[in-house]
Amino acid sequence: MTIDASRGVQAPPELVQLLTPEGERVEHPDYDIDLTPEEIRGLYRDLVLVRRIDLEAVALQRQGELGIWASLLGQEAAQIGSGRALTDADMAFPTYREHGVAWCRDVDPVKLLGLFRGVNHGGWDPVEHNFHLYTIVIGSQTLHAVGYAMGIQRDGAEAAAIVYFGDGATSQGDVNESFIWASVFNAPVVFFCQNNQWAISEPLEKQSRIPLYRRASGFGFPGIRVDGNDVFACLAVTRQALRNAREGNGPTLIEAYTYRMGAHTTSDDPTRYRVADELEAWKLKDPIERLKAYLFKNQLADQAYFEAIDAEADALGRDVRKRCLEMPDPDPLAIFDHVYAHRHPLMEEEREQFAAYLASFEGSEGR
């Protein structure tokens, strides 16, 4: 007996693409986009800066300053394209890898590091940024996004929710339930799946025999596959899906077809399960290189511009590093904070006992 679940995945992808890997602009009948040179340069800047933040975080982890880091390398266009499609009123629900979306939501990159440095479980105010906390349990946040969208719907607000998740996450019950809820309640939500081809060591064939975007039709809403390394296409497709949601036309599943160019996290060793050729092939589709080629060819930016962006990126990297190192260690008694909204006798009792215990070591060795 053999098991071959991979057949369906080989089906030719119907991919929305507006910018080829070579940096050629192509037309699409349904999803075209008109961007000013200023806006295009802005997207380029975003891509470069988030890649730089990510590189710095990887380096900080290597030097022992972070416990772990989940790199977004290769997924910048999917995140910036979709992130820049959001209005201030829209609400985003990330996984643990959405550093680029966080950037679009004006979350200070240093705040992202807290969780990975082990000083907190998520250090930004989700309400201030309309950017929810990172969710580590795979798929859970998809239901939260749908519920949030049901709230938007009841409020009659001009807004939508977007939820990020990976290819692996599509297997979770929660994710499938979220599709059902969104469909049945016609919730104003966009499901943004970054298919980076891998769930740690498991390739997409372990999760699906059909392209992921086609799952949507079974749940009763549109699904669309977009070139996840094409920032124009990601922006155009997400804008359209968000608009549909806000206008009462219900959910959309977007599959951003991309590639995890780095390890799953800094703890992972991808050489154990994937071949180097694959990475080389995807490097030719790099999201930043293609936009740079486009800008250059169309004389929307010159060498001096690129150098200025690189310099800005380096300065940002240095700043992120400096402020990461300055991040204070949390107070041990903070363990008891924020567990409950109201006073709680057990928290008070244990905090008091622990404070006394800590005090008993003062002046002595140890601790």
Partner 1 sequence: MTTLTLAKAINEGLRRAMEDDPKVLIMGEDVGKLGGVFRVTDGLQKDFGELRVIDTPLAESGIVGTAIGLALRGYRPVCEIQFDGFVFPAADQIITQLAKMPLRSLGALKLPVVVRIPCGGGIGAVEHHSESPEAYFTHTAGLRVVACSNPADAYVMIQQAIRCDDPVIFFEPKRRYWEKAEVDTSPEAAAGWPDLHTARVVRPGGDVTVLAYGPMVRTCLEAATAAEEDGRSVEVIDLRSLNPLDTALVTDSVRRTGRCVIVHEAPVYSGFGAELAARITESCFYHLEAPVLRVGGFSTPYPPSKLEEHYLPDLDRVLDAVDRCFAY
Ligand X SMILES: Cc1ncc(C[n+]2csc(CCOP(=O)(O)OP(=O)(O)O)c2C)c(N)n1
The residues of the shown chain that bind ligand X, judged by CB under 6 A, are 97, 136-138, 166-169, 196, 198-200, 260, 264
Q: Which is nearer to partner 1, 202 or 289 (CB)?
A: 202
Which of 9, 59, 186, 202 lies at the binding interface for partner 1 (CB under 8 A)?
202
264 is a catalytic site residue:
yes
Measured N-to-C along each axis, helices 303-326 and 109-117 cross at an angle, to the nearest 10 degrees, of 40
- The reply to whether 357 sits near partner 1 by the rule CB under 8 A is yes
Q: Read off the DSSP letter of residue 254.
A: E
Cβ neighbours of 208 (radius 10 Å): 19
C-alpha separations of 227 from 154, 192, 201, 203 in Å: 34, 13, 22, 18
- The reply to whether 167 sits near Mg ion by the rule CB under 5 A is yes
Which residue number is nearest to ligand X in terms of Cβ?
166
Q: Which is nearer to ligand X, 164 or 221 (CB)?
A: 164
Q: Which residues are paired to 193 by β-bridges? A: 165, 255
Q: Which does 157 bind (CB under 5 to 8 A by kind): partner 1, Mg ion, ligand X, none?
A: none
- The reply to whether 166 sits near Mg ion by the rule CB under 5 A is yes
At 105, the amino acid letter reads R
Dmax over Cα atoms in the chain, in whole Å? 74
Q: Which does 314 bind (CB under 5 to 8 A by kind): ligand X, partner 1, Mg ion, none?
A: none
Cβ neighbours of 341 (radius 10 Å): 6
- How many residues interact with Mg ion (rule CB under 5 A)? 4
Given the rule CB under 5 A, which of 137-145, 160-168, 178-186, 217-225 is the region that contacts Mg ion?
Answer: 160-168
Rounded distance between C-alpha atoms, residue 331 and residue 64, angstroms: 20
Of all helices (H) and strands (E), which one includes residue 81?
A: helix 76-83
273 is a catalytic site residue:
yes
- The reply to whether 120 sits near partner 1 by the rule CB under 8 A is yes
Given the residues 62, 121, 273, 318, the one annotated as active site:
273
User: What mask, x for binding partner 1 by CB under 8 A, covers residues 236 to 265?
Assistant: ------------------------------
Q: Read off the DSSP letter of residue 131.
A: B
Which residue number is nearest to Mg ion in terms of Cβ?
166
Pairing between strand 223-227 and 15-16? parallel
The catalytic site residues sit at 260, 264, 273
